[in-house]
């Protein structure tokens, strides 16, 4: 009985809920409006899909939202955490360490610990946006604003900072991915060497109709799988639930996960892995 109570205490509350309740759903009706975020221009519309209590690891939050025309997040530092702004469409001006370049979606730019960053939508169209944050200390958020909205600043023709592309043309075929069915398109978009925290990787996966990602588990890494487009079915341990564009599926330590596409359109996903400790990256396929 005592062992059961101890195990219950170390499992996040969210992990004790049924899978369909653990999956976070993007819902624009739930977006909150934030003005002049970190001294930025205009507005940001967003919701929190996961927070610092969701995972055992040092994930602080997953935010999903929209940068309206003229909206942005001002120039600021993070000294004890790392973030990454991602855009799924359109284009935006990304700043890292005071240098600004135009990125076209789907793309992102990680802001490593001790660096500064900002983003600005200079266009006349809303941009689909995401923010991922991972701390060096569990639950610890920090920021130091610079009072700089980055509007009208000079642009470098090529970024002089690390960027991430989610261009499907960069994916490569993998037959029987983790023992799954047919051929899946896969690419590691960001490796562990990019990050100073226990943020370990960002993967890009495209599952064609009739294909699947097979069963696998990690002892030292937790993940979330965010559905960029399409629909399918997520299997976590003994549970299954439908997923669609805008859903984020949390995967905790030792959970067996697999994903399949039963529809007629490609199922495209972004996978974020955060380790228990730095370099504790492991994946075991499950027969």
What mean pLDDT is reported for the chain?
Answer: 95
Q: Are residues 23 and 68 in the same domain?
A: yes
Q: Tell me, yes or no, whether 123 and 234 share the same domain.
A: no
Same domain, 96 and 221: no
Answer with the residue of higher pLDDT: 280 or 162: 162
Note whether residue 101 is domain-resident: yes
Residues 193 and 220 in one domain: yes
Percent over 90 (pLDDT), the chain = 93
Of the candidates 202, 174, 170, which has an alpha carbon nearest to the alpha carbon of residue 272?
202
222 and 119 fall within a common domain: no
Range of the structural domain that residue 203 is part of: 168-285
Residue 43 vs residues 34, 93, 150, 253: alpha-carbon distances, Å: 6, 15, 14, 37
CB 138 within 8 A of CB 199: no
Confidence (pLDDT) at 177: 98
Residue 11 pLDDT > 60, yes or no? Answer: no
Write out pLDDT tens, residues 132-145.
Answer: 999 999 999 999 99
- Predicted confidence (pLDDT) at residue 32 exceeds the cutoff of 80: yes
pLDDT of 10 > 70? The answer is: no
Last residue of a domain, one of 98, 133, 165: 165
Judge if 241 and 134 occupy the same domain: no
- Best CA proximity match to 17, nearest among 258, 263, 252: 252
Query: How many domains are contained in the chain?
Result: 2
Question: If DSSP codes are grouped into helix, strand and coil, which group holds residue 186?
Answer: strand
Residue 175 structure tokens = 């037959």
Is residue 150 domain-resident?
yes
- Residue 265 sits in the same domain as residue 149: no
Question: Is the same domain home to 40 and 151?
Answer: yes
Write the CB contacts of 134 (distance below 8 Å, at least 6 apart in sequence).
Answer: 57, 58, 59, 60, 81, 82, 83, 195, 197, 198, 199, 274
Which of 130, 165, 200 finishes a domain?
A: 165
Tens of pLDDT, residues 183-212: 999 999 999 999 999 999 999 999 999 999
Q: Is the dihedral of CA 180, 186, 187, 188 positive or negative?
A: negative
pTM of this structure: 0.94
Q: How far is CA 227 from the centre of its chain?
A: 10
Q: Where residue 250 sits, what CATH number does that domain have?
A: 2.60.120.10
Taking alpha carbons only, the member of 272, 279, 251, 258 closest to residue 216 is 258
């Amino acid at each position: 009985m005592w062992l059961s109570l101890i195990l219950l205490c170390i499992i996040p509350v969210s992990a004790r809920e049924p899978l369909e309740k653990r999956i976070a759903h993007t819902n624009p009706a739930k977006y909150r409006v934030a003005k002049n975020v970190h001294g930025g221009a205009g507005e940001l519309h967003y919701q929190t899909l996961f927070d610092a209590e969701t995972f055992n690891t040092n994930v602080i939050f997953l935010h999903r939202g929209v940068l309206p025309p003229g909206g942005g997040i001002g120039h600021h530092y993070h000294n004890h955490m790392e973030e990454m702004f991602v855009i799924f469409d359109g284009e935006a001006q990304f700043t890292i360490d005071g240098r600004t370049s135009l990125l076209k979606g789907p793309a992102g730019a990680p802001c490593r610990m001790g660096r500064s960053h900002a983003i600005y939508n200079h266009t006349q169209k809303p941009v689909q946006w995401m923010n991922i944050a991972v701390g060096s200390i569990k639950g610890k958020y920090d920021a130091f604003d610079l009072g700089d909205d980055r509007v009208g600043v000079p642009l470098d023709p090529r970024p002089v900072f690390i960027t991430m592309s989610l261009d499907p043309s960069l994916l490569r075929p993998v037959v029987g991915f983790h023992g799954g069915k047919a051929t899946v398109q896969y690419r590691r978009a960001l490796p562990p060497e990019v990050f100073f925290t226990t943020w370990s990787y960002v993967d890009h996966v495209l599952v064609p109709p009739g294909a699947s990602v097979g069963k696998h588990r990690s002892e030292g890494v937790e993940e979330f799988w965010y559905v960029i487009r399409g629909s399918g079915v997520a299997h976590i341990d003994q549970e299954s639930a439908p997923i669609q564009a805008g859903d984020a599926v949390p995967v905790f330590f030792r959970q067996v996960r697999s994903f399949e596409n039963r529809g007629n359109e490609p199922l495209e996903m972004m996978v974020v892995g955060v380790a228990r400790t730095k370099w504790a990256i492991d994946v075991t396929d499950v027969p």
